[in-house]
Amino acid sequence: EAGVAQSPRYKIIEKRQSVAFWCNPISGHATLYWYQQILGQGPKLLIQFQNNGVVDDSQLPKDRFSAERLKGVDSTLKIQPAKLEDSAVYLCASSLVTGTSADTQYFGPGTRLTVL
Amino acid sequence: AQSVSQHNHHVILSEAASLELGCNYSYGGTVNLFWYVQYPGQHLQLLLKYFSGDPLVKGIKGFEAEFIKSKFSFNLRKPSVQWSDTAEYFCAVKTYNTDKLIFGTGTRLQVFP
């Protein structure tokens, strides 16, 4: 079974530039998550989709971050404009169902973003 | 707000030593508990999880964790570590009625041969 795919793996940009990350979840997984992991910290949820609808985006900085999941499969996360404090690893995860305690989230390799 | 504390930030052990990593959470209701591991250069992988039933949970690679509700703890243990256990370990909590995982800050484990 193929895992969660993410691209690019690394990205370096200057502040005020824009950047986009792509995620392809495990086939058949209805729920998709984007996490931000700052160096020295655990992952923090940014946004959760169920199919193509947003379930939770309470911690997404909506003035600069946006995300979409067209057709309920792939997802993109965009930052515009980037700030220095956005330097982090952006993780995508997926799970089979939502609202089920027994479900497990499977993580992709992440995209390491450096903002100069 | 719910939070997860991992008090050991960096642990250094020799092979065959026993391991215990602490994890405490703050939430009074029903929780689901997880330990994830990230080996060098690899993605986060599930090590073990607790949902209900026996509070002693066994995971992959000889790891186990014990849920002690009265102490709000879910400590990870392994009786004899190997060099290949060198990794970062994250404890995570999910409240019963949500899908939101709340992670601790992680513990970096280094095992020397």
* Confidence class for position A2, pLDDT limits 50, 70, 90: confident
**Predicted pLDDT at A23:** 97
User: Is A115 inside a domain boundary?
Assistant: no
**Predicted pLDDT at A101:** 55
Q: Is B46 on the interface with A (CB under 8 A)?
A: yes
Q: What domain range is B40 assigned to?
A: 3-112
What does the pLDDT profile of chain B (113 residues) look like in tens digits? 789 999 889 999 999 999 999 999 998 788 899 999 999 989 999 999 998 899 999 999 999 999 999 999 999 999 999 999 999 999 999 887 777 889 999 999 999 99
User: Is A53 inside a domain boundary?
Assistant: yes
Mean pLDDT taken over chain A: 92
- State the total domains in chain B: 1
User: Is A109 inside a domain boundary?
Assistant: no
Whether residue A43 and residue B46 make contact (CB cut-off 8 A), yes or no, is no
Look-up of token digits 């290949």 = B84
- Chain B residue numbers with beta carbons less than 8 Å from the beta carbon of A103 are 99
Task: Please write the tens of the pLDDT for every residue from A65-110.
Answer: 999 998 889 999 999 999 999 999 999 999 987 555 567 899 999 9
User: Is A86 inside a domain boundary?
Assistant: yes
Q: What domain range is A37 assigned to?
A: 5-103
- State the total domains in chain A: 1
User: Is A113 inside a domain boundary?
Assistant: no
- Site from B21, B25, B43, B45 to mutate, A interface, most A CB atoms within 10 angstroms: B43
Per DSSP, the residues of chain A read ----EEE-SEEEE-TT--EEEEEE--TT--EEEEEEE-TTS--EEEEEEETTEEEE-TTS-TTTEEEE-GGGS-EEEEESS--GGG-EEEEEEEES-SS-TT---EE---EEEEE-
Q: Is A91 on the interface with B (CB under 8 A)?
A: yes
